[in-house]
Amino acid sequence: MDLTLSQSLAGLPAFFAYFGTGLCLLVLFLALYGLVTPYHELALIREGNVAAAISLAGATLGFTLPLASVIAHAVSLPDMFAWSVVALVVQVVVYFVVARAVPRFGEAIRDGRVAAATLLASVSIAVGMLNAASLTY
């Protein structure tokens, strides 16, 4: 079946709606994540703190993996938004669990200790992958 260009582009408004909403949710996640951590990731990253970059990158990937799954499987924008909020909450919980498991976690990130950051990043990504797989309803 051959599609004309106009038929092919008929889905463009939906693309922009989901993509735009996804970007807004990513910005919201980064803002909220920055509020719950006891350190300022972006300021630390600007100073060259590799641990802050690793931990924030892991959290970002841990959130965007389920976000991508939600976008692919949502039946509507409200459905997408609701499940994206679930993914956001899961990643914030991951941060608190890891921070509680590692003594003086915030200090470790501020001091640039890569081991603590790598643990958080890997757990964030692993949980994000499980979260994404669970959202293929």
Q: What is the pLDDT of residue 130?
A: 96
Q: 21: which DSSP letter? A: H
Structure tokens at 34: 């920055």
Structure tokens at 94: 């991951």
Of the chain, the end-to-end C-alpha distance in Å amounts to: 29
pTM: 0.91
Q: pLDDT digits over 35-77, tens only?
A: 999 999 999 999 999 999 999 999 999 999 999 999 999 999 9
Q: What is the pLDDT of residue 23?
A: 97
d(C-alpha 62, C-alpha 70), whole Å: 13
What is the length of the chain?
Answer: 137
d(C-alpha 83, C-alpha 86), whole Å: 5
* Position 1 pLDDT exceeds 60: no
Residue 10's pLDDT band, with cuts at 50, 70 and 90, is: confident
**Domains of the chain, residue spans:** 5-134
Q: 114: which DSSP letter? A: H
